[in-house]
Structure 1
Amino acid sequence: MKSVHIKDFKVSEKINISTTKTTWNLEASKAELKDKLKNTRKELGKLQDTLYAHGKYAVLVCLQGIDTAGKDSLIREVFKDFNARGVVVHSFKTPTSLEKRHDYLWRHYIALPERGKFGVFNRTHYENVLVTRVHPNYILGENLPDVTNLDAINDEFWDKRFQQINDFEKTIHENGTIIFKFFLNLSKDEQKHRQLRRLDKPEKNWKFSPGDLDERELWDEYQKCYEEAINRTSKANAPWYVIPADDKNTARVLVAEIMLQELKKYKDIKEPELDDAIKAKISEYRQRLMND
């Protein structure tokens, strides 16, 4: 199997979505990919245990992608060997009435992982520069004081919102959150195949909504918005990784491997040592237990 090189996926200069790969050949069979993922996620699970004991970092994993890109199944498979208490998944839907009474980042801020844990955002704060950009009328529902009509949702408005997102990520990074942002890059043909499968398989029907087809018709507009969002917010403290997503098994391996390789760079993440006074009496404590 080919090695995974982070530089192939990390966005360090401007990208063009239309020319980025949606497939990636790791020269491995389906069984080999599953074995690789199994081994990698076990290492990640052990690392999370150490992260928890260390208690100084949190990890935020942001997953974005067009409908059917494979976010749900990726979360299920990549985090399968984590301690259940060590990872919390949040799936952000249409904002509730309570959430609309706060700024758009509020519901994401209160869902951030605590130190020692992984937090996974299934769809993220980027929906606020993606879906709302394709459908700017949604912004009017936020009840912003200076936005009373669609004319106010202009380039200056989006510039400000991108800056707010960059500031948000910079702040949480500086306070101990390690950020991974993955864009699952799916081809339009593969999305068509997956949507047809939802219709053809009764057990998949529940996932289908007629609205999905309406959104598909806006494919080019969404791709343009994804491209700009990624280019304007891929920073050293919160980089984007564009993951070829036409093959789910490959995408899962890539995401898991990138996280593992990056987290291993944090050499200070290790279990704390016992206090010297306690360590000096280990034999005494052991004897007390033996005599119990």
Structure 2
Amino acid sequence: MPKHQRDRIAELIAPLRVEPGRRVRLPRDFDPGYTGDLVHKRDGAELLERGVALLADHQARLAAEGTRGVLVVLQALDAGGKDGTIRHVMSGVNPQGVRVHSFKVPSAEERAHDYLWRYSLRLPARGEIAIFNRSHYEEVLVVRVHDPEAPASHWRDRFRAINNWEHHVAASGFHIVKLFLNLSPEEQRRRLLARIDEPAKNWKFSASDLAERQHWDDYQRAYADLLSHTSTDWAPWHVIPADQKWFARIAAAAVIADTLMAMDPRYPTLDRKARRDLKQFRGALEDK
């Protein structure tokens, strides 16, 4: 990839990264309506297309290499655009090399284990990209918002446990990309209204969306706290401005593509004997 194109991607995502140790305050530190130097959707169309092509190329190399993997953690409030982001960003990749896991309310079996158990079961294999559509961070978001009596030390312990778990995953050869789709309350309101007003979207609406919306400020504080405590050198967070869906998709694709380019997976090369064998096989096929 030409250096100027890689520099362009790095420039685009740099303001979105949560530097380890930074104290985050939402929405002051990250504007949900930010679009960088891209003003209109058409401005980013080529950039998104290029990002999707990069993902497809590097995912094919990752699968062929078969020694490392990628975990993409995707978090957002209701109507944040997680499903659309996955659909558009991963549109060009081979579906055999990508696994998407959407985590719902824990089952009885899952509740019988520690809270990270079910997420460990869904980690990618080597050569794969796994996407967590909601993730282990729900354990310090929804659970926290609905358990205001728990002491602050409880959540600090969970942050520490999550950081240690992710460090183990990263040290085992799996790169972690963490994306928070940052939505404004007004844009969420518009999207929820669209789910009511547009028949094709009625199925998406749930009364629980309105109930959770009442806890908006609590969620903002919970997200700010987790971003502050769990953005690490081995698993940094990127806060994706989500008010403009087209920009959110460009930014998400850019972060994942940047990670894969840094990994630089390679197609396996054959040793001398294997290359000699291939010549013999080729000769046998030509004789037929």
Give the TM-score normalised by structure 1: 0.91
Q: Tell me if structure 1 keeps the 8 A contact 2:98–2:131.
A: yes
Q: CA deviation at 1:229?
A: 0.5
Q: CA deviation at 1:216?
A: 0.6
Q: CA deviation at 1:266?
A: 2.1
- Whole-Å separation in 2 of the counterparts to 1:258 and 1:225: 23
Corresponding residue number in structure 1 for 2:211: 214
- Whole-Å separation in 2 of the counterparts to 1:232 and 1:254: 23
Alignment of 1:186-265 (within 5 A): 186-265=183-262
- Whole-Å separation in 2 of the counterparts to 1:32 and 1:155: 44
Corresponding residue number in structure 1 for 2:134: 123
Give the 4+ runs in structure 1 shifted more than 3 A: 1-4
Q: Secondary structure at the match of 2:93?
A: coil
- Whole-Å separation in 2 of the counterparts to 1:78 and 1:278: 37
Structure 2 counterpart of 1:24, which letter?
Y
Correspondent of 1:44 among 49, 55, 76: 55
Q: Tell me if structure 1 keeps the 8 A contact 2:242–2:248.
A: yes
- Whole-Å separation in 1 of the counterparts to 2:39 and 2:125: 37
Corresponding residue number in structure 2 for 1:74: 85
Q: Residue 283 in 1 paired to residue 283 in 2?
A: no
How many residues end up aligned between the 2 structures?
A: 277
Q: CA deviation at 1:8?
A: 0.8
Q: Secondary structure at the match of 2:262?
A: coil
Correspondent of 1:23 among 33, 41, 49: 33
Structure 1 counterpart of 2:280, which letter?
E
Correspondent of 1:10 among 13, 17, 22: 17
Cα offsets for 1:60-91 (capped at 9, x unmatched): 00010110010001001111111111100000
Q: CA deviation at 1:28?
A: 5.1
Q: Tell me if structure 1 keeps the 8 A contact 2:59–2:97.
A: yes
- Whole-Å separation in 2 of the counterparts to 1:115 and 1:239: 21
Q: CA deviation at 1:287?
A: 1.2
Q: CA deviation at 1:136?
A: 1.8
Corresponding residue number in structure 2 for 1:174: 171
Structure 2 counterpart of 1:271, which letter?
Y
- Whole-Å separation in 2 of the counterparts to 1:281 and 1:97: 54
Q: Secondary structure at the match of 1:222?
A: helix
- Whole-Å separation in 2 of the counterparts to 1:262 and 1:157: 32
Structure 1 counterpart of 2:33, which letter?
T
Structure 1 counterpart of 2:161, which letter?
Q
Q: CA deviation at 1:282?
A: 3.2
Deviates more, 1:117-126 or 1:4-13: 4-13
Corresponding residue number in structure 2 for 1:184: 181
Q: CA deviation at 1:281?
A: 3.8
Corresponding residue number in structure 2 for 1:140: none
Q: Secondary structure at the match of 2:63?
A: helix
Q: Secondary structure at the match of 1:60?
A: strand
- Whole-Å separation in 2 of the counterparts to 1:223 and 1:14: 13
In structure 1, the gaps of 5 or more residues are: 138-149
Q: CA deviation at 1:32?
A: 4.3
Corresponding residue number in structure 1 for 2:269: 273
Corresponding residue number in structure 1 for 2:161: 164
- Whole-Å separation in 1 of the counterparts to 2:283 and 2:127: 33
Q: Residue 98 in 1 paired to residue 109 in 2?
A: yes
- Whole-Å separation in 2 of the counterparts to 1:158 and 1:84: 36
